Chains A and B, each alone.
Chain A
């Protein structure tokens, strides 16, 4: 289209590996017998369980309710029985367990009553609450609760619908745009009305011509004035800050949300789930997951939230030398051992790993200061400096070099000739800084409580001293009085009236 793009700095062009999984239509994963639903499915506060072990639930019934604003409810992905509420391992590099609700499916997959929302008659705030109760969160990976982003007072100029999907291997958004373009466009129109955005832009990388065609078709069918923008294929074009810059020329530093600059951005899958929730009364209980890599049948699966990753992987028939999983894309995803941890709302891709496809990184050698990393960094950082200070554990210096601006895109590590796992160093340093900030907050509150306690003790002491002094004075006055009484009988009347004169 006739629109100038603002090319962001840096970026890389890794092998896309997309064709394999993009060919086949989205397939529906068979219903597993057991679903494990970690309570924390989104950024913000985890919702609280509202069911008990043994309860029967229907598909789409709330099983954990959001109690705070930055939180979203969680629903039963199928009908069945609550089998357990306890700690279950997550697909997380720590391998730690977290609170989860387990549902045993009864096989009937029976919905609770579904009703479309008459959103045009409702106040925007009511629609936002409805989306929160429908568990709508960002499905692109950041899993930020969507209703929080729909602040009507934010004065949104541009609404960006992100279908860039720049990471290699991942094709779930591509397939979704090809197959559900109409729902995505309807959802975008709804979001446009809720945000009051003046312009709605769809951003898609130019390696997805079918998706672009499908969306353009749906837009003209629905007579919307949305613009589909074709981005040159360059990783990380779909990263929030890069995308906002490319389309609007507005630069959002790490501590400024694009909302503050009048831009709001939603992933295409999120937009579709908004529409399913509003138009069909269906909360988020399924999502499309790309399964690719070292498998015989790479494909996109529509899987229920809570399905085991291993079970999903088996559907695509992993080859025998599969030795692990990448959850997410190869650039930003987490490399984990094979795991039966559950799919969550944020899981967009599983890549089966094998030594052939993902040979182990050669050992790290010293940095030669070639600055290739700085040229590749889309955030304009100097990764070698960040690396140096993180490695030296001088986290304050790393912070001075804008560590917080790093989006962990992995471009720097991708180009580094010394094979330094730069992003791991940055994650380590960020974790240490975050922990230090938490500790500082605790110490500050401990100090104020300690100081208040001391103040209280001193005040009590002072009050006691004052009382004692008063008692002593009263005692002295009494003694003086008794000493003078025999002589003072005649003056008594005068003394009593004295205060009045004074």
Chain B
């Protein structure tokens, strides 16, 4: 009788454990929706949240389910909206209110002698672009940083700045030949922004 109780208790424990694991497996399953993935591949992965979603993937899911427009991603810009329109066969919608047509790459820079090593920025960075350890100086790996600014706020001593990367002959591009049509479009975008 007592043996049975003990076995029952053990079995219950095993069951609980199994259920917890099973639940975790379902709850945290990595979804493989092909449309969402394709949309997500177009989004710039800045993870900045400017679209109103907590990251690029959630925004991709919202687009896939039809819950969101395709013109909400500022870092993705006009090009991104066009690509999404083409992928989904939807009409191209210009960015809601975009002034900057030229995207400049910015990165976060930690002023290293002010850094207190609190690790808060590491926890905030969505793309693991910061290296450092508790009470050690932290550094942003320039080539990995997307410039999403998410690490700026959490820093208690405000030692993280944004810096525009200077143009080099390698990243320089031939300018567009300015013609009336293009200029008109820019102007109209600026007027929209002014509203």
Contacts and interface: CB of A to CB of B under 8 A. Distances in A.
Contact of B13 (A427, A443, A476, A487): A476
Nearest to A470: B17
Contacts of A435: 171, 173
B41 A491 contact: no
Chain A interface size, under 10 / 10 to 19 / 20 to 34 / 35 or more: 35 or more
B47 interface: yes
B195 interface: no
Contacts of B129: 449
A474 B146 CA distance: 46
Nearest to B43: A443
A466 B45 contact: no
Contacts of A430: 174
B3 A449 contact: no
A424 B177 contact: yes
Interface in B170-191: 171-177, 179
A152 interface: no
Contacts of B168: 96, 98
Interface stretch (A163-171, A265-273, A452-460): A452-460
A444 B6 contact: no
B19 to A, nearest CB: 8
A445 interface: yes
B17 A473 contact: yes
Nearest to A445: B144
Interface string B6-34: 10011011101100110010001010000
A444 B144 contact: no
Given A92-B169, A453-B128, A476-B13, A443 B45 contact: yes
Contacts of B17: 466, 469-470, 473
A279 to B, nearest CB: 35
Nearest to A490: B2
A428 B28 contact: no
Given A98-B168, A458-B28, A466 B9 contact: no
A484 B5 contact: yes
Nearest to B125: A453
A330 B7 CA distance: 91
Q: Tell me if A's interface is mostly helix, strand, loop or mixed.
A: helix
A484 B6 contact: yes
A93 interface: yes
A337 B56 CA distance: 45
A474 B127 CA distance: 38
A374 B5 CA distance: 89
Q: Most B CB atoms within 10 A — which of A90, A470, A474?
A: A470
A480 B44 contact: no
A313 to B, nearest CB: 22
Interface in A407-459: 421, 424-425, 427-428, 430-432, 434-436, 438-439, 442-447, 449-453, 455, 458
Nearest to B86: A396
B74 interface: no
B136 to A, nearest CB: 20
B49 interface: no
A427 to B, nearest CB: 4
Interface string A465-488: 110111011101100110010011
Contacts of B79: 436
Contact of A453 (B14, B46, B127, B146): B127
A494 interface: yes
Query: Which 10 residue pairs spanning A and B have beta carbons closest together?
Result: A431-B173, A473-B13, A446-B45, A469-B20, A427-B174, A94-B172, A480-B9, A458-B28, A443-B45, A447-B45
Interface of A: 40, 90, 92-94, 96, 98, 364, 391, 393, 396, 421, 424-425, 427-428, 430-432, 434-436, 438-439, 442-447, 449-453, 455, 458, 461-462, 465-466, 468-470, 472-474, 476-477, 480-481, 484, 487-488, 491, 494-495, 498
Given A428-B176, A435-B173, 14 more contacts: A94-B169, A96-B172, A364-B177, A396-B86, A424-B177, A428-B175, A444-B41, A447-B41, A447-B56, A453-B127, A461-B24, A466-B20, A472-B16, A477-B13
24 contacts: A90-B169, A94-B167, A96-B167, A424-B177, A432-B173, A435-B173, A438-B171, A443-B41, A443-B44, A446-B45, A447-B40, A450-B128, A451-B30, A461-B24, A465-B24, A472-B16, A474-B13, A476-B9, A480-B6, A480-B9, A484-B6, A491-B3, A494-B3, A495-B6
